[in-house]
Structure 1
């Protein structure tokens, strides 16, 4: 993809001892042209799983819909919810099968299942890695420094939420194509909830 049409975004995912936090900023851009400051890049899949993405907004939305449909079909067929690893692997296969004309999106799959909290990282051709935390998009270089310095193995979701906001804030301050505030999804064994942090609150 040429630099003129390069798509800006920043998304982060953090695995805590008691859950998962996914976050992304809200600006929709093509190159340095800003289309909107109210885009959504974090999507709930079911009541214990979500994704956060960086890339073309249409591709992010399509991947979220594909994952939601397949998670529901699995649940109806198997009479139980799919594991986070199974859904991440399915998305990896879908993206790999489109490698010649790929979805222009990097994806974080996060959730909580019988094995505990998980965060998986996928690139546009379906490479799949499980990690404790990750940052994607044009602001990832700024965000990963905050994650590296602030992450610890016994972090809880309250601390992980603050760390995710600080990581995205670093991108908002330094990456010209990230902005517009922050969307979060916080997943624990008892709930999955969305939250929005306004840009005025982020930058104070």
Structure 2
């Protein structure tokens, strides 16, 4: 076990992750070597669409196995702006999974949105951007980006729009979606609090006679509170989530970025 963490060449050289620990040699002296182009750098993201806004959020922890490589590595990015700081961007993209692939995917989509703006004199709509992102992912289907992407913005009617993807480009528009290491912890919470699943009016009946609670659009303040609560719960149960919470709030006035603290253990 000591060889996994040793930098001493006499103890099997550099340290290894648990999945790449050296294997015993075969009887004939042969040794297996393999290369895995993917890794999972942890972290989680989520997005919620409101009546006239969209909020996208992600934690800032970057991990490799049981090591924390960075406590501030954003996972939500502005897309398609014409300035250096993307101050006029209208679309946001979150990527989580393999950081290198996420960065590459973000840069490619951002370049395509910029070219569209220069050629047509207007920003790309979130619907068109969602379709283009699907095409980018499908083009790489034989060697996919190992990243879970969520795209957010406002549609042509000014309503919040969230699009979620699988690694090869299949996508759908949703009210909310979580991705990454703690997705299985956060998504049931969003289903209940945003999609109003399994919420009933107290005293309205028994069993199947219970009346469902009226579904209504959540206010911006309510969504911001839900996002913070979701990540506060996730950091208590998942070691790959924590340190900081980055929120992108998309409205007609633009995109506002908010950074809040999370647990740092």
TM more than 0.5: yes
Q: Count matched residues.
A: 201
Please give the secondary structure, in 2, of the residue aligned with 1:24: strand
Distance in 2, Cα, partners of 1:58 & 1:31: 16
Q: 2:260 aligns with which of 181, 197, 202?
A: 197
Distance in 2, Cα, partners of 1:44 & 1:21: 12
Please identify which structure carries the higher helix content: 1
Note if contact 1:21-1:186 (Cα within 8 Å) is conserved in structure 2. Answer: yes
* Alpha-carbon offset, residue 42 of structure 1: 0.6
Distance in 2, Cα, partners of 1:78 & 1:157: 32
Distance in 2, Cα, partners of 1:43 & 1:97: 22
Q: 1:20 aligns with which of 47, 54, 66?
A: 54
Distance in 2, Cα, partners of 1:111 & 1:6: 27
User: Structure 1 unaligned runs (5+)?
Assistant: none
Note if contact 1:18-1:156 (Cα within 8 Å) is conserved in structure 2. Answer: no
Please identify which structure carries the higher strand content: 1
Matches within 5 A, 1:154-165: 154-165=217-228
Once the two structures are superposed, residues 11-55 of structure 1 have per-residue CA deviations (whole angstroms, 9 ceiling, x without a partner) of: 000001120000001111123332111111010113211011211
Please give the secondary structure, in 1, of the residue aligned with 2:223: helix
Q: 2:75 aligns with which of 30, 35, 41?
A: 41
RMSD: 2.0
* Runs of 4+ with deviation above 4 angstroms: none
Check if 1:184 corresponds to 2:247: yes
* Alpha-carbon offset, residue 93 of structure 1: 0.9
Q: Which has the larger radius of gyration?
A: 2
TM superposition score normalised by structure 1: 0.91
TM superposition score normalised by structure 2: 0.71
Note if contact 1:71-1:87 (Cα within 8 Å) is conserved in structure 2. Answer: yes
Higher relative contact order (CA 8 A, sep 6+): 1
* Alpha-carbon offset, residue 56 of structure 1: 1.4
* Alpha-carbon offset, residue 145 of structure 1: 2.2
Note if contact 2:127-2:155 (Cα within 8 Å) is conserved in structure 1. Answer: no
Check if 1:122 corresponds to 2:165: yes
